[in-house]
Amino acid sequence: MDMSLIQGIISSHMKDLSPDSSPEAKIQFLDEDERVKKKQDFESRAEFFRREFIPTIQPRAESGGRPNKQDLVGIVDAQIVSDYCRKLGGLAEEASRYDWTHDEPKITAEFHRLRIEGSLRLAKARLPSLVFISSTISGEVDFTKARFLGQVVASYTDFLDDVYFNHAVISGVALLTDTKFSGNAYFSSTEFSSYADFPNSIFMGDAYFTDAAFTLGSNFTSSQFHNRGMFHRSILSGLSFLDEATFNGFADFEEAKFLGVTTFRKVSFLKGATFQGAVFSDNVDFSDSKFPDLANFEGAVFTRQARFLDCQFKKQTIFSRSRFALCPRFHEAVLHQDTSFTGARFDSMALTKRVQQMLASLPLVGRVLQKFQQTFSAGDTRVNWGGEARAYRTLKLLMSKHQAQHEASRFFAGEMRCRRREFGLKQPVHYFVSQLYDFFSEFGQSAGRVLFWMLLINAIFTFGYLIQEQQDTTAGQPRFAIVEQQGGSKATAQLPRWDREHTWLALSMQSFNPVAFLSPKNTWVQIYDGAVFTQGVSQSLMNLVLLILLAISLRGQFRRGSGGGD
């Protein structure tokens, strides 16, 4: 892929994440006095609306219903709340047209320890900062396509019915700490322009975050998803924390984009999880997580370090066609027998260091290309080749435990390559022997590679003999010729045979025999030139080594217990 095209994709993607790519010009204040007066005017109007709203609250004592939630002290109709929010929203939108620089007027709709009876209908509304503290909303909450001009706070609040934030834009921080969603929660295509905080939240129904965009980070630590958690195609920029979360239903992160450091430590995926086609552009940590059901990482891209320390994979685990810049860490992990790495690519395992050229073929988004280039840039010391070797060794042992010899051999090759790069020319003999063993047979695991080199090398020698025979014919002085054994003495045979017309081919076939030059009795092409004799011996020795490598490769691929692990 052309580099300019890749940069265009990245720029376009980042532009799409920006909520105000072409903001309107703000109204400027003439002086500080005008700014202070205007601020006081907005705040006094907001206070007037608040005083109108307060008398509509009816006193009512009611239990909070769950730990840490304060008891309710009042009840108010949802329609009144909706009207109040719309009034303040219009005021906040008017205030947003001014260039405050700092110290903006406080325009917030606050609901503390209230029961809001009925459904909130605020679709497509322009809304101020909303604060719900220890409150309960009995009906549906519809914020579809709403635009929040400030923050959204819903701490220790219960939504007893479905909640809709589809296509909403939240300009400020979203703080939903210890929030309980009793119905389905719809956040599809929601844009969180600032930090999104959902720690200890409870989703009793399905939670939809499909195509949602988290611009400045997100936190779902210790959240509980009692049904499906859908993060399909979501974009999570900044730091993303999902530590100790529990997914009682299926967890769907298919094609999600994690553009910052992401942690899934001690997460329980009880009904299966899919990260198929997901992109992790920074470090990701799944340490101590449990996968009692399907774990699907097919086609996922890991551009930095992926950690699966102490993870437990109890059922089918799929890493087919995934891409790893660095070897994933599986130390102390438990892998299921039905674990597949078919078609997975490990860039630190590459035979040569042409990694940067290979990266251009990736379907890149965000900072993926940049992260890859940083990881393998010239002189980058962040690649710990010793750690990479140990990581491949761990995978080799895990695959060998299930007699998946094909995968085990592949990870053994990765371990050896990383060891070679770790010591380099400090151990020259080991370096060059390892390089040749790898280059010609992939450490004895690729019979196809051995056959390729065998055919190529013999074709080159055969072509060389053909050229030499043509030169001898022109010069009238042969350097090799066909001979026959007659009564214990050699004499040029007179009977017509195919090899008399193709002496060059006969010499190549003779040289294919590793012991052809140990005794004259083993030859039927007599060589009269030292250089040609050296070529023949060299070809024989190479064939001998390649035949040994071929035998090792075939034994490794077809020996008893060499299951594929698929």
Q: Are 76 and 94 found together in one domain?
A: yes
How many CB atoms are closer than 10 A to CB 460? 11
> Which pLDDT band, with edges at 50, 70 and 90, does 21 fall under?
very low
Q: Which of 188-197, 511-520, 542-551 comes out lowest in average pLDDT?
A: 511-520
Q: 326, 350 in Cβ contact below 8 A?
A: no
Number of domains in the chain: 4
CA atoms of 152 and 159, how far apart (whole Å): 14
Entry field: residues in the chain: 566
Average pLDDT, the chain: 84
Closest to 244 measured CA to CA, from 268, 276, 272: 268
Q: What integer pLDDT is reported at residue 75 of this predicted model?
A: 96
Q: 329, 302 in Cβ contact below 8 A?
A: no
Q: What integer pLDDT is reported at residue 520 of this predicted model?
A: 57
| 372 pLDDT higher than 70 | no
Q: What integer pLDDT is reported at residue 66 of this predicted model?
A: 81
Buried b (16+ CB within 10 A) or exposed e, 70-107: eebebbbebebbbebbbbbbbbbeebbebebeeeebeb
Query: Is 244 a member of any domain?
Result: no
Q: Are 290 and 430 found together in one domain?
A: no
How many CB atoms are closer than 10 A to CB 38? 16
CA atoms of 126 and 283, how far apart (whole Å): 37
Structure-model confidence comparison of residues 519 and 133, the more confident one: 133
pLDDT digit string, tens, across residues 71-91: 999 999 999 999 999 999 999
Closest to 273 measured CA to CA, from 306, 229, 241: 229
CA atoms of 445 and 430, how far apart (whole Å): 19
Instruction: Work out the percent of the chain whose per-residue pLDDT is above 70.
Output: 83
Q: What integer pLDDT is reported at residue 356 of this predicted model?
A: 42
Q: Classify residue 98 by its DSSP letter.
A: B
Closest to 346 measured CA to CA, from 367, 378, 322, 370: 322
Q: Are 198 and 127 found together in one domain?
A: yes
**Residue 295 one-letter amino acid:** A
> Which pLDDT band, with edges at 50, 70 and 90, does 68 fall under?
confident
Contacts of 50 (CB under 8 A, 6+ apart): none
Give, in order, the Cα–Cα distances in Å from 376 to each of 82, 370, 391, 426, 482: 55, 10, 18, 21, 56
Please work out, in degrees rounded to the nearest 5, the angle formed at the alpha carbon of residue 331 by the alpha carbons of 330 and 332: 110
Q: Which of 109-113, 166-170, 528-532 comes out lowest in average pLDDT?
A: 528-532
Q: What integer pLDDT is reported at residue 176 of this predicted model?
A: 96
Q: Are 50 and 173 found together in one domain?
A: yes
Domain boundary among 364, 383, 402: 383
Domain boundary among 230, 261, 287: 230
Query: Is 16 a member of any domain?
Result: no
Contacts of 312 (CB under 8 A, 6+ apart): 289, 290, 291, 292, 333, 334
| 8 pLDDT higher than 70 | no
Question: What average pLDDT does the segment 298-323 reach?
Answer: 96
Query: Is 13 a member of any domain?
Result: no
Q: What integer pLDDT is reported at residue 566 of this predicted model?
A: 40
Query: Is 5 a member of any domain?
Result: no
CA atoms of 379 and 397, how far apart (whole Å): 31
> Which pLDDT band, with edges at 50, 70 and 90, does 161 fall under?
very high
Q: Are 410 and 545 found together in one domain?
A: no
Q: What integer pLDDT is reported at residue 15 of this predicted model?
A: 47
Q: Could you identify the residue written with the tokens 């730990």?
A: 67
**How far is Cα of residue 453 from the mean position of the Cα atoms in its chain?**
35
> Which pLDDT band, with edges at 50, 70 and 90, does 361 fall under?
very low
Q: What integer pLDDT is reported at residue 377 of this predicted model?
A: 39
pLDDT digit string, tens, across residues 395-405: 999 998 888 87
Q: Are 404 and 476 found together in one domain?
A: no
> Which pLDDT band, with edges at 50, 70 and 90, does 517 fall under?
low
Q: Are 420 and 296 found together in one domain?
A: no
Q: Are 476 and 461 found together in one domain?
A: yes
Q: What integer pLDDT is reported at residue 328 of this predicted model?
A: 96
Enter the pTM of the model. 0.78
**Residue 512 one-letter amino acid:** F
Q: Are 460 and 428 found together in one domain?
A: no
| 186 pLDDT higher than 60 | yes
Closest to 29 measured CA to CA, from 73, 126, 95, 107: 95
Q: Are 374 and 389 found together in one domain?
A: no
Q: Are 211 and 325 found together in one domain?
A: no
Domain boundary among 411, 441, 471: 441
Structure-model confidence comparison of residues 450 and 431, the more confident one: 450
| Phi, psi (rounded to 5 degrees) for 264 | -120, 40
pLDDT digit string, tens, across residues 436-482: 877 787 777 778 888 888 899 889 988 988 888 888 888 888 887 77
| 373 pLDDT higher than 70 | no
Question: What average pLDDT does the segment 408-423 reach?
Answer: 84
Determine the structural domain holding residue 345 and report its residue range.
Answer: 231-239+250-383
Q: Are 272 and 162 found together in one domain?
A: no
Query: Is 57 a member of any domain?
Result: yes
Q: 396, 556 in Cβ contact below 8 A?
A: no
